Structure 1
Amino acid sequence: MISMSVIHSIRCMRKEGASVAAIARELGISEPTVRKYLREVDLSDRPPVRRERPSKICFASMSFQQAHQYFSAVWADGFPRSRHHAVSDVR
């Protein structure tokens, strides 16, 4: 990890029109590192907060009656589709 002063230098040099290669040479860091810090928006020490996503299979939110009706309808046809398709219907 590089210091905030180096990151500030990277950004200032780029605003002045310096190329990524020139910035890397002058500061003694690699070009991918220069690109990384030019691309970064949030430079805080806190890790990003991950949004909570709902489960792909949401049987927990279904009542027993709803699940029974769903699977009865699917299995009534002799289960013509694969189990993967049946699970995707629930999403």
Structure 2
Amino acid sequence: MLTLKVENTTAQPHVTKHGDSTFNIGSINGENVQVGNSNTLTTNVTIQELAKKIAKSDDPEAKSKLKEFLQNSTVGSLIGAGASALIGIL
């Protein structure tokens, strides 16, 4: 049997090397910080927290989209009377 192996020697320096990385970090201040490779970050926020943060923002598009979301009949039936209270925040 004959095996032919072709290797592009000019591409070798461009091959990504996978290995362990070392991160030396003095200190980190903040929320939702992720350091490293292949990590996952899960954040849970209530709809009320989301509405309050969007209401405090100067983003009319975000306010409009959230208001549209809360006025949806399916969302309204799931949230109940709380939907109108959240719209009032905006």
TM-score, structure 1 length as denominator? 0.25
Higher helix share: 1
TM-score, structure 2 length as denominator? 0.25
